[in-house]
Chain A
Amino acid sequence: MNFLELLGYFNYWVFAIILTVGLYAVINKTNLIKKLIGLSIFQSAVFLMYITMDKVEGGTAPIIQKGVEDQIFSNPLPQVLILTAIVVGVSTLSLGLAMVVRISECYGTIEENEILDAD
């Protein structure tokens, strides 16, 4: 396996690192907003993995041009899944933020350990 072939996996390595960085924020940080930021990084990592899988060598974006033969297209299916997932992601994220805002109003803090102490 030569060096260039190894670089073909670079996208997946970046996926692994970003995923775990996001997970680290979710499990280690006590600040609820930081947790949500970590969750959205985690989510972005999954998006990156799906979009990495759609790439075909020498391919182009899947938009058919009339009169051009022998075009190679990248896989459109992961793109569709991720396209809708991004918009759903922002709506669920704002639902989480709305809960954090209410918690902050009731407890006066958004640090998890202080909230647990207050209960």
Chain B
Amino acid sequence: MIFIFGLFLLTLLVITAIAIVRTKDLFVAVMLTSIFSLLMAANFFILDAADVALTEAAVGAGVTTVIFLCALALTDDKEKPRQGGRWVAFVTVGVLALLIIYATFDKPRLGDPDAPVHQHIAPWYIEKTTEYIDIPNVVTAILSSFRGYDTLGEVFVVFAACIGVLFILGVSPPRKTRGVTEKNSGLRHHLIPQVVGRLLIPFIVLFGLYVQFHGEYGPGGGFQAGAIIATGVILYALLEGESEALRAIPRGVLLGMVIGGALLYGGVGVACMFMGGAFLDYSVLAADPIFGQQLGILIIEAGVGMAVCGALLAIFHAFAAREILS
């Protein structure tokens, strides 16, 4: 039954992808991208990847859509028709698709337990997580302890991208701009979004905190929590206007969160070195190595959550605060 549901979702995914590329209206394309992400999240959930589904739903369907819409407001939301060159591209991607489909027959079929990917190191991770770290969620254990280096790198990439966006959009627009006064009022005059939004925001933030601190026991962790809390604050910004959201959480605090989160993560690693272990080897943080691991994971997940939440919000504000050229 779940298999048929999976086929249905995948077919919808293909239809949505083709619709996104075909439409000339960029606003429609962005909305379809949001649906595409939601379908993708459902697919991830069927394929047993609960953590990934949570991330895709919060980031793909939530934050990405809002950032795309902000960019559309600053540029143009109609795509101009284009002539020529279409068949060359069509034939190229068609041949490529057929080649990839031909290559898939060499891959193990879906769910094959003897596939090479399940033979290498994954069984070791599943087996040893209880022994070394003793937290139920293996994904969190790998993310923050076994493969802590990778995650540190990812946090630095998010940090660097955030700094990059702030640099690019930090310079003032080249032409004389006229600030639109209506822009900052948000949806304040619409009753239904106001009431529903105010009811939702506290629960979204609460759920984000739950995901943050329950990440060792269930699906969740710093990446998801950061994205969920960021969507809550973005919803507030959409309802009350962007300047109100900045008054609630000023830009300095957001930057402090990004920098503080990345520093906290790196700092834990350096602290491990000072206490006699290797970089990011949390076992030395406490007398009991297992408790040390759990403590280390808790701290670096907090760092990841802060960095991701701060970066996404800083990026959102960088786009939203920019005045529309008129």
Chain A residues close to B by CB (< 8 Å)? 5, 7-25, 27-31, 33-34, 37-38, 40-41, 44, 47-48, 51-66, 72-95, 97-102, 104-106, 109-111, 113
Contact = CB atoms under 8 A, between A and B. Distances in A.
A54 B49 contact: yes
Nearest to B146: A80
Nearest to B221: A83
Interface stretch (B118-126, B233-241, B246-254, B272-280): B118-126
Nearest to B98: A16
Contact of B158 (A81, A83, A91): A91
A56 B40 CA distance: 19
Nearest to A7: B7
Nearest to A113: B82
Given A34-B26, A98-B169, 9 more contacts: A24-B90, A28-B89, A77-B117, A84-B150, A87-B154, A87-B223, A88-B157, A90-B64, A91-B165
Sort A-B residue pairs by CB-CB distance and give the 6 closest, nearest first: A8-B109, A91-B161, A57-B111, A74-B48, A12-B104, A28-B89
B74 A101 contact: yes
Given A31-B26, A93-B67, A98-B164, A76 B142 contact: yes
A29 B76 CA distance: 15
Given A78-B117, A91-B311, A101 B75 contact: yes
B110 interface: yes
Contacts of A12: 100-101, 104, 107
Nearest to B96: A20
A68 B48 CA distance: 18
Nearest to A105: B173
Contacts of B150: 80-81, 84
Given A9-B107, A41-B17, A84-B150, A98 B49 contact: no
B30 A37 contact: yes
A118 to B, nearest CB: 14
B108 to A, nearest CB: 8
Interface centre among A11, A14, A80 (most CB of B within 10 A): A80
B229 interface: no
B109 A79 contact: no
Contacts of A95: 161, 164-165, 168
Contact of A83 (B29, B71, B223): B223
Contact of A18 (B13, B118, B138, B161): B13
B26 A106 contact: no
Interface stretch (B55-63, B193-201, B205-213, B289-297): B55-63
B130 A80 contact: no
Nearest to A91: B161
Contact of A55 (B17, B97, B110, B121): B110
A96 B144 CA distance: 28
B53 to A, nearest CB: 9
